Amino acid sequence: MNEEILNILIPMLLGMGGLLLFYILLENSLKKKVEQIKGFIEEKKKKVRLKRSQTKFDKHLKMLIQANGLNFTPDKLEGVILIIFIASMCLTVRVLLLGTAIFLSVGLAIMPYLLLRVRLEEMRAMSSREAEVLVNAFLIKYRAKQRNIEETLEAIIKEKSIKNTKPLLLKLLFKLQNTKNKAEIKAAVEVFVYSINTNWARLLGSNVYQATTLNIDVTLSLEDLLVQLREARRLWEKQKRDTAEPRRILWGIPILYFFFAYISWSKLGLSANELFYNQFASKQGVSFFMLIVIGFTLSLILVKLRFSRKFDC
């Protein structure tokens, strides 16, 4: 059993050691080449980004990342996905059929993207429930601030009743204060609308854009929107069901996993080496481990989506 584990670890260590030795011996001569390659890669990246910035998928990833309040490019998210896929393939391809290894690795690799989507849906649901409070506050402050959108947003952000949508309003206000470019304002409004993804958010975003760029009085439009939201609130409360979320059952799965590992070690007399081999160096162990991780994540995603009901008009 120990020999099997050593057969896995020794080639990996020798490979990394060989690469390190190769780098040390040729460090000086490689530096110039590395700089040249870096310059070439950066130039290519600029061209690729310029080309990809026009694609719908790249725009979708960018919006998803911004809506989650994160500060990195779509390239980095794709890099994380690629690293997970490669690491998963290295673990599974030795003991599973190629097709099965690819299927499980792809399933595991897309989990970061799915988790971002689930987090976004949960944020959307929480933000959507502030609709009536937000629009009412917006209308009151808009009148009080002489129809000045920036001052209106500054006043709304100070309201204690506005919690979930406050980060979105802060981003929108920051953009409005730092640019008068219509395209940039439109992009900022689109991020706000995408982050909530409801009809009332689209209407509110449209009012903000028109009031900012065209200097239009949107008081009547905000009043109509508030009336619609109050009617929708009555219907929503009437249809609302008990949504007790069974999170405790789901989070019991990893606890059970470690509990059974402890039982195997303490009661069945399996050593740590044997547990490692059975889980990560055998066909059945790797298959079940990957399926457990994927199944648990998918179950968590489905539960989150099921109970993240958005309020809309």
Residue 251 belongs to a domain:
no
Q: Is the pLDDT of residue 238 over 80?
A: no
Look at 81 and 235; give whichever has higher pLDDT. 81
Mean pLDDT of 31-49: 66
Where in the sequence is the domain holding 175, given as residue range(s)?
A: 125-242
Distance CA 169, CA 105 (A): 39
**What would the pLDDT profile of 202-237 be if each residue is shown by its tens digit?**
999 999 999 999 988 999 999 999 988 888 777 766
**Tokens encoding 298:** 């998918």
Q: What is the mean pLDDT of the chain?
A: 79
- How many CB atoms lie under 10 A from the CB of residue 166? 17
Which residue did the predictor score with more confidence, 52 or 167?
167
Mean pLDDT for the stretch of residues 278-300: 76
- How far is it, in rounded angstroms, from Cα 94 to Cα 87? 12
Collapsed DSSP state (helix, strand, coil) of residue 95 = coil
d(CA 301, CA 113): 11
Q: What is the pLDDT of residues 144-169, one digit of tens each?
A: 988 899 999 999 998 888 888 998 99
Contacts of 72 (CB under 8 A, 6+ apart): 65
Cα angle 66, 67, 71; round to 5? 30
**How confident is the model at residue 151, as a pLDDT?**
92
Q: Is the pLDDT of residue 2 over 60?
A: no
Split into its structural domains, the chain has a count of 1
**Cβ proximity of 311 and 128 under 8 Å:** yes
Cα-Cα-Cα-Cα dihedral of 18, 23, 26, 30, to 10°? 140
Residue range 111-131: mean pLDDT, rounded: 86
What percent of the chain lies above the pLDDT cut of 70? 73
Does residue 300 have a pLDDT over 80? no
Q: Which pLDDT score is estimated for 104? A: 85
Nearest Cα to Cα of residue 92 among 298, 288, 283, 295: 283
Could you tell me if residue 130 is inside a domain? yes
Name which of 234, 208, 241, 216 is nearest 134 in CA terms.
208
With 60 as the cut, is the pLDDT of residue 54 above it?
A: no
User: Would you tell me how many other CB atoms lie within 10 Å of the CB of residue 126?
Assistant: 16
Q: Is 109 within a domain?
A: no
Q: Assess whether pLDDT exceeds 50 at residue 200.
A: yes
Q: Determine, yes or no, domain membership for 213.
A: yes
Question: Which of 242, 253, 254 is closest to 306 using CA atoms?
Answer: 242
Statement: residue 273 has pLDDT above 90: no
CA–CA distance, 261 with 272 (Å, rounded to integer) = 10
What confidence score (pLDDT) does residue 210 get?
92
The CA distance from 291 to 108, in Å, is 9
Tell me if 289 is assigned to some domain: no
Q: Which pLDDT value is given to residue 243? A: 47
- Is 267 a member of any domain? no
pLDDT tier at 263, thresholds 50, 70, 90: confident
DSSP line for 160-221: TT--TTHHHHHHHHHHHHH---HHHHHHHHHHHHHHH-SHHHHHHHHHHHHHHHS----HHH
Give the pLDDT band (50/70/90) at residue 92.
Answer: confident
How far apart (Å, rounded) are the C-alpha atoms in residues 155 and 147? 12
Q: What is the mean pLDDT of residues 90-116?
A: 85
- Please state the rounded mean pLDDT for residues 100-109: 87
pLDDT, position 61 = 86
Average pLDDT of the segment spanning 170-190: 90
How far is 135 from 235, CA to CA, in rounded Å? 18
**Regarding predicted confidence, which is higher, 211 or 268?**
211
68 domain residue, yes or no: no
pLDDT for 76 equals 87
Residue 244 has pLDDT above 60, yes or no: no
Contact indicator for 74, 61 with CB cutoff of 8 Å:
yes
Provide the pLDDT confidence category of residue 193 given band limits of 50, 70 and 90: very high
Q: Which two tokens stand for residue 205?
A: 């975003």
Does 261 map to a domain? no
